[in-house]
Structure 1
Amino acid sequence: MDGSNSVEKRNNVKATHYRSKLFEPFDHLEKLGYRLRLLDNESVAVVHVPGFAVDAFDVYGNCHAWGIVKMIGRAVDFAHCFALDSSSERFFLDYAILFDELFTFMASSSIEFDKSLYNPLVSKWPLNINVHLGYVGTSSINFVSNIVEPSSGEILVRNVNQLVAIDKETRKPTPLPSWWKKKHGDKAVRKEPLIVQKLSKPDDAHTYTFRVSWSEIDLYNHVNWTSYVLYSINALHHGIKEGVLRGINKEVVKNGVQRMQMAYFGECVEGDQLTVYFWEVEDQPRTVYFDMERDGRTVFQNTLTYHKKE
């Protein structure tokens, strides 16, 4: 491995236990041109991705917010599960080993979309996604991921995801092992967890109802955390079509999403019926709030704000 710890492509090599178990679902990413290199004493993962696909853009020529989130999710999976060499069980931050016996549950997510993301003159092919360890708590961690335009170094998207370690048998939060915290805890770039306050749904919130489809399910056979972004925006456009939103219309949407603050409270599976409640607040321009319920219980909330027209 060279000074920048570049990971070279390996062919016809027997996979390790962890690679075969965890990386196999993402093996196609390597074939599509995803590459991984580590920097700063292996504390930063840089995932090189080819860029956005043709269907990643909406009718206004802007990148779909859910497509961006999916790209981040896949890049983080790639960084965590790609073995660093062919003969050992080394992974970025030992993540694959850490969670071989654990599940993770997405607790909250914050995403900021820079205005330049929607500039057609800014190249979207290829891109780098830099992944850092953010915060380490007792049973939770977060990761900071930035989408970067390689030639300029400009950050197009900033993301923080808060994860909770879950025991596979009890399905309850469990402490992170002390060996891992001792080995990697000092690599964290944040000093606090990402806490998204729970929203209070008003009585006059608008509604949008649908059923979960198979295409929105992840490896755990639950709705993928990125799918809730799609649900939010579908509900928002339903509100625009019905004319029930005052501060959001097609002209505002053309400016692109500026930020999202999301919180996850439960899980959903294929066939579940979800009701999305959405509303505006008078002194919060270009912003819509969402509360998604299954069987009367909140499973997800989102605060979504669009950019102001320049």
Structure 2
Amino acid sequence: MATHVQEYDVVIDLQKHQVESHFPGISYDDFDRGGSISPWKICRMFEAGRAIPSIVGNYLDGNTLTTDKHALFVLGGEYYFDPCLWDVARKFNYFPYKVTLETINLGQTSVTLRQVLINKLDNKELATFYLKMVLVDRISRRPTTLPSWYQEKFKDVKGRVGDQAKFLLNSQLVVPEGAFQVERQVMPSDTDHNGHTNQGSYVRFCLDAAQVANKAGVLEYVQGDICLYPVLKISISYKGESDSGDRLMTHLWQDDLSPQMLHFATYREAKLILVATITFKSRPHTLSRL
């Protein structure tokens, strides 16, 4: 079944390898139980900022690269959230926004991108996402070399210095003894068109696990619901895949030096599939005078 895409305003600059996707606003479902825009919904906004240009304009040649044998997967990335994000939905009666997307580096098997979520009413940058996408062989599930025509097309961004995706790739991760554990089952609605758990769902799993740990009295500094503490940064790296019906075990623990940083390691059976760190504001959010 073909995907129907609303006529969003999408502006693509092929020479600069940049694109802007414009969205009319957010919905009730985008808010969390604390009244702020949910971080995992922002992850979905960034996903839409990649998917829409690919569908309507074949940006990054995603439609060309995606075949029966190959697909582009997100390997990991870092989200940065500006403090003003937690007031924007209260400050404005409606919230039209745009997501910019820029190719900033090219490797042998991967492409590094930068996305920015911008409030169109005051042009403030609300969140930024640096990510790396990798071309994967569908059979072996291993990275494969980008075709020569693709490397030629994006040769001007190859080896660029500057902003890079600095996501966690720590293969020496050791889960501390006594780390809190939360188990959950992946539901069909947690998965995407690639047939595995959606990246936004993993962020939701981590945030849910954090609140379970909080209610169990594990977190030192949190008073009340953890969703009242704004998220400042999410670093995430995907080590494997999971699908509907899989049971996942998430281990989480506070950073020894900065307790507002929570570390997560998620396993499917004995296989590590996710490493993440979420940094929260050390105090709950108070509504700014507007």
Shorter-chain TM-score tier: 0.7 to 0.9
Give the CA RMSD over aligned residues.
2.2
Moved more, 245-254 or 265-274: 245-254
Question: Which range moved further: 55-64 or 165-174?
Answer: 165-174
- Counterparts of 1:103 and 1:237 in 2: how far apart (Å)? 34
Distance in structure 1 (CA, Å) of the matches to 2:253 and 2:217: 12
Asked if residue 44 in structure 1 is aligned to residue 12 in structure 2, the reply is no
Does residue 138 of structure 2 align to residue 168 of structure 1?
yes
Partner secondary structure for residue 91 of structure 2: coil
Equivalence for 1:238 = 212
CA offsets per residue over residues 207-237 of structure 1, 9 Å max, x none? 1111111110111221112110010001001
CA deviations on 1:89-140 (whole Å, 9 max, x unpaired) are xx32333223345212322121011101001225762100001112210111
The answer to whether residue 172 in structure 2 is matched with residue 184 in structure 1 is: no
Distance 1:116 1:163, change over 3 A: same
1:209 corresponds to 2:177:
no
Pick from 247, 266, 271: which aligns with 2:221? 247
Q: 1:136 aligns with which of 87, 98, 106?
A: 106
Give percent identity, aligned residues only.
Answer: 23
What is aligned with 1:277?
A: 251
| Change in CA separation of 1:308 and 1:206 when aligned onto 2, cut-off 3 Å | closer
Counterpart Cα distance in 1 of 2:153 and 2:204: 37
Moved more, 184-193 or 198-207: 184-193
Cα gap change, 1:216 to 1:285, in 2 (>3 Å) = same
SS in 2 for 1:226: helix
C-alpha contact 2:168 2:276 (8 A) present in aligned 1: no
Match among 149, 153, 168 for residue 119 of structure 2: 149
How far residue 56 of structure 1 moved from its aligned partner, in angstroms, is 1.1
Alignment of 1:60-71 (within 5 A): 60-71=34-45
Match of 1:102 among 61, 70, 87: 70
One-letter amino acid matched to 1:60:
G
Structure-2 separation of matches of 1:305 and 1:211: 25
Q: Are 2:214 and 2:226, in contact at CA under 8 Å, matched by a contact in 1?
A: no
In the alignment, which residue of structure 2 is the partner of 1:125?
Answer: 95
- The worse-fitting range, judged by mean Cα deviation, of 192-201 and 286-295 is 192-201
Code of the residue aligned with 1:44 in structure 2: it is Q
Letter in 2 for 1:105: F
Counterpart in the other structure of 2:288: none
CA deviation after TM superposition for structure 1 residue 151, in Å: 3.2
**1:92 corresponds to:** 59
Matched, 1:112 2:86: no
Greater CA drift, 162-171 or 266-275 = 162-171
On the 8 A contact 1:196/1:262 being kept in 2, the answer is yes
**Deviation of the 1:153 alpha carbon:** 2.0
Per-residue deviation, 1:173: 1.4
Partners of 2:158 and 2:280 lie apart in 1 by: 30
Aligned counterparts of 1:248 and 1:189: Cα–Cα separation in 2:
42
- Give 1:190 shift: 5.2
Q: 1:131 to 1:296 in 2, by over 3 A?
A: same
* 1:288 has 2:256 as partner: no
